[in-house]
Amino acid sequence: MARRKRLFIPGIPTHVYQRGNNKIPIFFSEKDYSLFLNMLQEAKVKHPCLIYGYCLMPNHFHLLIEPEEKNNISLLMKFLGAKYVHYINKIHSRTGTLWEGRFKCSLVDREAYFLTCLRYIELNPIRAGLVKSLALYKWSSYRARALGEKSKVLDLSKWYFDLGNDSFERQNRYKEFFRDYTIPEPAHLLIKEMLHKGGLTGDTKFKEQIEGILGRKILFRPQGRPFKEQLNVQSGRSSSD
């Protein structure tokens, strides 16, 4: 059976996921995590993309990424994957594959699911029981926005700067967005399902937008009522229905 063609569209955020083969670890030391981020920075310069979020877990990683050109995510992941595997195999005296097949991905509706997908990604260490507080986990994009930690990899984007007049106000409002370490179940299931199926993480309007760009129908469709979660930049409060 032919492999399903993945969807990449310039200017559309994409949730990317890659796991270790048979769920084996892909990071073995703090140096591995740090070098991976350096390689990711090199990859995004070589194949221009905006990186809005990331989370590196012991046996997998997530990215929320937006390509400048159609093929840039594929090129970035190929460059990153090959360089990191070469490093791991050399340093840790191993051979063979590190990844479990091709990376998985899903286009993300910027209006309805962007922030929810970002929370999904950054909440990974909590769901896995690695930490009790996101502030304690060094290998995600959360600390850059919530604590002001410097990151060469991350693109903060305009919506973040609209959260407040200074860094202190923006950080507090971002932390408020994570006051509840849960995501509504329908949104959680949709993000996970569409990521593994290569579908669309969005509502009907988003589906129609993508179909218009592609000039064809999309097989995977979001189920149920549209979901929307957003940060209110006026009050600093988050909402989820």
pLDDT per position as a tens digit, 114-127 = 999 999 999 999 99
Report the candidate in 110, 109, 125, 139 with the shortest Cα–Cα distance to residue 178: 125
Per the structure, the complete domain to which residue 20 belongs is given by: 14-240
**Percent of the chain topping pLDDT 70:** 89
141-198 pLDDT per residue, tens: 999 999 999 999 999 989 999 999 999 999 999 999 998 888 999 999 999 999 999 9
43-53 pLDDT per residue, tens: 999 999 999 99
Identify the CATH number of the domain in which residue 60 sits: 3.30.70.1290
Residue 2 lies inside a defined structural domain of this protein? no
Residue 219 lies inside a defined structural domain of this protein? yes
Can you give the pLDDT at residue 229? 53
Residue 38 token pair: 């350096």
Residue 9 lies inside a defined structural domain of this protein? no
Rounded to whole angstroms, the Cα distance separating 203 from 200 reads 8
In this prediction, residues 30-58 reach a mean pLDDT of 98
Residue 32 lies inside a defined structural domain of this protein? yes
Residue 8 lies inside a defined structural domain of this protein? no
Residue 174 lies inside a defined structural domain of this protein? yes
CA 214 to chain centre: 23
CA 40 to chain centre: 13
**Total domains present in the chain:** 1
Residue 131 lies inside a defined structural domain of this protein? yes
State the chain's mean pLDDT as an integer. 89
Please, what is the end-to-end C-alpha distance for the chain in angstroms?
Answer: 40
